[in-house]
Every structure is written in structure tokens, then in C-alpha cells.
């Protein structure tokens, strides 16, 4: 604090608040703003899907229906490693990182 009557004193800097600085200087977000930002994040994350790994004979990515059909066949045969490989591919395509 500065003495108004003494021209020789400078404004003292007060100690900063402890803790994490606010992300937005305008204050806390409203519930609607927070929900909007959450939905935008989900949309952006969905756009950044991991590229497909499983390719068909021509080198094009397999469609989901073909992958699900392969999963059905592997389950009917009882082929555990194939089921795990196919479910891993589906997980890489669609599951969000936590």
C-alpha cells in the first residue's frame, strides 16, 4: 500500500494468492459453459481416432461390419487369440483414452 501524501513511496506489490492460477481471467465458468466445453472436447477427441490397422487384401481399411463378422466367426470357432486381436482393433478405433 502506498501513502497518498508521500510522493517518494512506490506501490508495494502484495503477495500473490496461493494455489493454481485461474484458467480464465473472467472467473469461474457457468455450468452451461462447462458442459459446452466438455461436449466440444468429446467431439474433438472423436475426430482424432487412431488410424485403422486391419487392412483387407487390397490394402484398404476393413469396415466395421467386416470386423464384427470376423469377430463372430472367431467366437464360433473358439479362437481366443483371434477374438483378442479383433477386440483390440475395435478398442483402438473407438475407446477413449482415460
Domain boundaries, the chain: 54-98
Site of grid cell 461436449 = 39
Q: Taking a C-beta distance cutoff of 8 angstroms, is the pair 94, 71 a contact?
A: no
- What integer pLDDT is reported at residue 22 of this predicted model? 73
Residues 6-20 pLDDT 10s: 777 777 777 777 887
pLDDT in tens, 33-88: 999 999 998 888 766 655 545 666 777 777 888 888 989 999 999 999 889 988 98
3-state secondary structure the chain: CCCCCCCCCCCCCCCCCCCCCCCCCCCCCCHHHHHHHHHHHHHHHHHCCCCCCCECCCCCECCHHHHHHHHHHHHHHCCHHHHHHHHHHHHHHHCCCC
pLDDT at 47: 67
CA distance 89 to 35: 30
Cα dihedral sign for 98, 71, 52, 47?
Answer: negative
Tell me what pLDDT residue 75 has: 93
Nine-digit cell at 61? 481399411
**pTM to 2 decimals?**
0.40
Amino acid at each position: 500500500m502506498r501513502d497518498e501524501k508521500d510522493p517518494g513511496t512506490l506501490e508495494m506489490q502484495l503477495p500473490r494468492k496461493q494455489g493454481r492460477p485461474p484458467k480464465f481471467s473472467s472467473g469461474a465458468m457457468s455450468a452451461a459453459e462447462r458442459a459446452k466445453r466438455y461436449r466440444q472436447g468429446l467431439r474433438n477427441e472423436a475426430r482424432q481416432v487412431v488410424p485403422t490397422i486391419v487392412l483387407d487384401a487390397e490394402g484398404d481399411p476393413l469396415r466395421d461390419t467386416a470386423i464384427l463378422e470376423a469377430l463372430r466367426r472367431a467366437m464360433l470357432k473358439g479362437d481366443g487369440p483371434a477374438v483378442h486381436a479383433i477386440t483390440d482393433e475395435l478398442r483402438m478405433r473407438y475407446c477413449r483414452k482415460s
